Amino acid sequence: MAREERNIKLKIENVKKIFNTRNGEMVALNGINLDILENEFICVVGPSGCGKSTLLNIIAGLSQPSSGKIYCDGHEVTGTGTERGVVFQQYALFPWLTVKKNVEFGLKLQGIKGQEASDIAMKYINMVDLKDFANHYPKELSGGMKQRVAIARAYAVNPSVLLMDEPFGALDAQTRTQLQSELLDTWQKEKKTCFFITHDVDEAIILAQKVIIMSARPGRIKEIVDIDIPYPRNQETKMSKEFLDLKNHIWGQVYQEYLEVRK
Ligand SMILES: Nc1ncnc2c1ncn2[C@@H]1O[C@H](COP(=O)(O)OP(=O)(O)OP(=O)(O)O)[C@@H](O)[C@H]1O
């Protein structure tokens, strides 16, 4: 289906966020307007503190905007919802539950129990290559494995929107590359809409159809860059002229904003 014909999955309408801090009011986000289409993959980059996580938390319904609105499938977002799954950089697993029980947790909240919950959990545990660790506890896993569990847990409840806040930030390069390619597979097969924050411009270009560059605080959308490189993308993609030109451009824009922060 042509991109223009797809429905708007997430609508971000004039969002502003003010935090009350010890030094008075701080405007973290201002005038954010963005339409994200169904099955679109968006990456967000920008200097530290520009409000990326604040925006993701508002879309997730974990935080309320000071003004403006978020709509998901045309309905105003007023809190969390199972159609929006979140993966953070820190795995946030329950240490007292096994891998399988961690993945089943969200399913139970949805009323899915017994064999059905077990089958769904194992499908996603298999997908992230952790079949042999289903009965292990988080403390017995490496950082990369824990992050895989967090991803399996988010996928298992089958959200149509995946909100990911630097999910691969703490991982080694090889694990990161593998998880990127698994994420792209899932995105393509299961038609998810992805909103993915990263500091890594290479990662943004490998994953996204559109890269949103945010300006230094107060966070605004500085530029939306279309990434028209065909999928599947892989390590070779990173050598192409198209990739390197996009990388130079995006990196330059983000660096300018970083210099703004340091002024
Ligand atoms: N709960 C809060 N109370 C007060 N200020 C906050 C709160 N959460 C975030 N901020 C401030 O809002 C601004 C945006 O923070 P946010 O975490 O969204 O930035 P970010 O772009 O995700 O940063 P990073 O890339 O470093 O993770 C920062 O100046 C931060 O200090």
User: Which of 31-35, 88-92, 205-209, 237-241 is the least confident region?
Assistant: 88-92
> pLDDT grade, residue 4 (50/70/90)?
low
Mean pLDDT of the chain: 93
- Per-residue b/e over 111-136, b at no fewer than 16 CB within 10 Å? ebeeeebbebbbebbebbebeebbee
Tokens 């560059």, residue? 213
The pLDDT of residue 2 is above 80: no
Mean pLDDT of 3-16: 86
The pLDDT, as a whole number, for residue 249 is 98
pLDDT digits 0-9 by tens, 167-179: 998 788 888 898 8
For the chain, what is the domain count? 1
The answer to whether residue 93 sits within a structural domain is: no
The residue whose CA has the least distance to atom 12 of ligand 1 is: 28
The answer to whether residue 22 sits within a structural domain is: yes
The answer to whether residue 119 sits within a structural domain is: no
The pLDDT, as a whole number, for residue 191 is 87
pLDDT digits 0-9 by tens, 130-168: 999 999 999 999 888 898 899 899 989 999 999 999 999
pTM of the predicted model over 0.90: yes
Question: E strands, the chain, where?
Answer: 8-21, 24-37, 41-45, 67-72, 75-76, 84-87, 161-165, 193-197, 210-214, 221-226
**Residue to mutate (ligand 1; options 16, 44, 53; most atoms within 8 A of CB):** 53
The answer to whether residue 202 sits within a structural domain is: yes
Distance (Å) from CA 240 to ligand 1 centroid:
35
The answer to whether residue 71 sits within a structural domain is: yes
**What does the alpha-carbon distance between residue 146 and residue 38 come to, in Å, rounded to a whole number?**
29
CATH number at residue 173: 3.40.50.300
The pLDDT of residue 1 is above 60: no
The pLDDT, as a whole number, for residue 190 is 85
Please, is 15 exposed, middle or buried when counting C-beta atoms within 10 Å of its C-beta (0-12, 13-18, 19+)?
A: buried
Residue, of 106 and 211, whose pLDDT is higher: 211
Check if 21 has its Cβ closer than 6 Å to any atom of ligand 1: yes
The answer to whether residue 79 sits within a structural domain is: yes
Domain that holds residue 38: 11-83+159-262
pLDDT digits 0-9 by tens, 183-237: 998 899 888 999 999 999 999 999 999 999 999 988 999 999 999 999 999 889 9
The residues near 238 (Cβ < 8 Å, ≥ 6 apart) are 202, 206, 244
Check if 235 has its Cβ closer than 6 Å to any atom of ligand 1: no
The pLDDT, as a whole number, for residue 33 is 98
